[in-house]
Structure 1
Amino acid sequence: MESVDTLLAAHRAYLLGWDIGATGSPDLVTYRSEVPHVSLNGVLRVRGRAPRDALAEARHRLAGLPRIWWAGPDSDAGTAEALLSLGAVQVARMPIMTMAIDRAASPPPPAGLRVTETTDLAEFVPAYARVSGIVPDGLAAAIDREKAFSGDGTVIRLAGRLDDGRIAGTAVAWLSHGVLTLYFVGTQPEHRRRGIGTAMTRAALDLARETGVRTAALTSSPAGESIYQRIGFRTVGAFQLMSF
């Protein structure tokens, strides 16, 4: 199993693939996508910086956009507490989860679901935007950033379709640092509670195994933690997400 440091490095590499700004030095790693969505602009890590100075610089770099500070195990100890004392607001706790791919549970997929790679971003992005909170006004920017995505790894976009051909589920498989990291795993509201999200996750795991990758990771919402545990993921840490 890969170390937590490796999992977090893969996570940083994915979000930096969205960046069109200046990521700065290793002591304050930020990314700016210009997509008006809170998780697509933010701070990934701070080390060895006075919290007040780091916060001021992060606000300057990300001015005018919704943004998030990922206060996690790869930042200085006490980062979340320091940010709170300076006026930041904790908005969520996101478990960091990992698993050995060959130990994944294999529930039967929903009848009629077909999961394939897609390159049609004009169709794929609106599908995941609908369930991830990207507003309609942000779709054009999100599509542009997906087209220009460039990161230290390989991104594979998976679409789950039912018999009518429309996308019912999405997943982005990010292969970097020898790890599969999952993003934008979601199910369209009218198709929920059918096991589609689990099937999308399973398809990404199978794809990664075929490339020789043996470890998977993701950041989950608290509500999704138990679902991923049933597949075989275990919690190894957490991010405190801070609004600033």
Structure 2
Amino acid sequence: MHEPDLRTRATAPALPGDQLRNCASYYSGYGRREDGAGALLYRSGLEHPLYNGVLRWRGTDGTDGTDGTDGTDGAGAAVTAAGSRLAGLPWFWWVGPDSDEGVRDALRARGAVPAGRMPVMGAAIRERPVTTPVEGVDVVRVRTPQDLTRWAQAYARAFGIEERLTLPAERGRPPAEPLVRFSARAGDRVVGTAALLPAHGVAGVYVVSTHPEHRGRGIGTLMSQTVLQAGFDAGLRVATLQASEQGEPLYRRLGFEEWTAYELFTLPAR
């Protein structure tokens, strides 16, 4: 497997937009990335909405996408085009502060249904984090193809995603991507996962999961701290993540605060 070099990372303070760019880099790594005509779209072909979607849309003229002439709006055209590109797949449209306002109305006008809210949280990493050990659990880097298989299977169980999807999703990510994965092991069993994406001057925290039978032991805390520690060692002083409802209290205890949020939409199948 590709071993990213984390020794030469920028130490300049990250801007809020860098957190969104980190998020976009992570999710678009799951599929063929199309970044043009104001839209950032990715398509993996896998049957789960996290693996396909539109992460932002901006009017190509720098406005809200409305031409103001005949009632046809650029956002509506973008929604129609994205629906064609992603036809036959489950997918999300992410609407956040990096998208133009007009896209919400365009989505609703075409029958889009709200699918949830995903807080974007950030934290300063002022000191090297200390990890809180969990008895009987060791944390190791994912280095081999066999490690990756077990890691993908572990987060599938934790997140309720079919294992037939998680492994091809992970294998399909860009080979030169600096994503660093960590496994929590209890004996020969992977009981927790996490990943660091050092991109855009930010330590992106992803795939923090705990096996259902091992929850309540502090594994999620340990894995989050491990990623933050690795980010600090890489010279990064700002961390970001997108929190689930269950994970948000943990991240607040670790010093994260909500900066903004994405609204997720799904569109009816064509």
Per the normalisation by structure 2, the TM-score is: 0.82
Q: How many percent of aligned residue pairs carry the same amino acid?
A: 37
Could you say which residue in structure 2 is the equivalent of 1:118?
142
Equivalent-residue separation in structure 2 for 1:98 and 1:74 (angstroms): 16
Equivalent-residue separation in structure 1 for 2:86 and 2:156 (angstroms): 21
- Structure 1: unaligned runs, 5 residues or longer: none
Q: Work out whether residues 79 and 106 of structure 2, in 8 Å CA contact, stay in contact via their aligned partners in 1.
A: no
Equivalent-residue separation in structure 2 for 1:39 and 1:145 (angstroms): 10
Matched pairs, number: 239
Instruction: Select 1:45's aligned residue among 56, 68, 76.
Output: 56
User: The residue matched to 2:101 in structure 1 has which SS?
Assistant: coil
Instruction: Select 1:66's aligned residue among 80, 90, 95.
Output: 90
Which of the two has higher C-alpha Rg? 2
Deviates more, 1:48-57 or 1:91-100: 48-57
User: The residue matched to 2:213 in structure 1 has which SS?
Assistant: helix
The residue type equivalent to 2:121 in the other structure is M
Matched, 1:198 2:221: yes
Could you say which residue in structure 2 is the equivalent of 1:29?
40
Cα separation, partners in 2 of 1:52 and 1:79, compared to 1, 3 Å: closer
Instruction: Please identify which structure carries the higher helix content.
Output: 1
Instruction: Select 1:154's aligned residue among 175, 178, 182.
Output: 178
Please, what is the CA RMSD of the aligned residues? 2.0
Equivalent-residue separation in structure 2 for 1:70 and 1:146 (angstroms): 21
C-alpha distance after superposition, 1:7-40 (max 9, x if no partner)? 11111112222223x5140501100112211111
Equivalent-residue separation in structure 2 for 1:127 and 1:148 (angstroms): 18
Q: Work out whether residues 75 and 102 of structure 2, in 8 Å CA contact, stay in contact via their aligned partners in 1.
A: no
The residue type equivalent to 1:74 in the other structure is D
- Structure 2: unaligned runs, 5 residues or longer: 1-12, 60-64, 66-73
Matched, 1:102 2:102: no
Deviates more, 1:79-88 or 1:233-242: 79-88
Could you say which residue in structure 2 is the equivalent of 1:83?
107
C-alpha distance after superposition, 1:127-146 (max 9, x if no partner)? 111122322442xxx42342
The residue type equivalent to 2:173 in the other structure is F
Per the normalisation by structure 1, the TM-score is: 0.90
Could you say which residue in structure 2 is the equivalent of 1:131?
158
The residue type equivalent to 1:242 in the other structure is F
The runs of at least 4 consecutive aligned structure 1 residues that moved more than 4 Å come to 103-107
Q: Work out whether residues 132 and 184 of structure 1, in 8 Å CA contact, stay in contact via their aligned partners in 2.
A: no
Cα separation, partners in 2 of 1:151 and 1:84, compared to 1, 3 Å: farther
The residue type equivalent to 1:110 in the other structure is V
Equivalent-residue separation in structure 2 for 1:132 and 1:84 (angstroms): 28
The residue type equivalent to 1:182 in the other structure is V
Equivalent-residue separation in structure 1 for 2:96 and 2:257 (angstroms): 17
C-alpha distance after superposition, 1:199-219 (max 9, x if no partner)? 100001111111111111000
Q: Work out whether residues 94 and 263 of structure 2, in 8 Å CA contact, stay in contact via their aligned partners in 1.
A: yes
Cα separation, partners in 2 of 1:149 and 1:191, compared to 1, 3 Å: same
Equivalent-residue separation in structure 2 for 1:105 and 1:212 (angstroms): 13
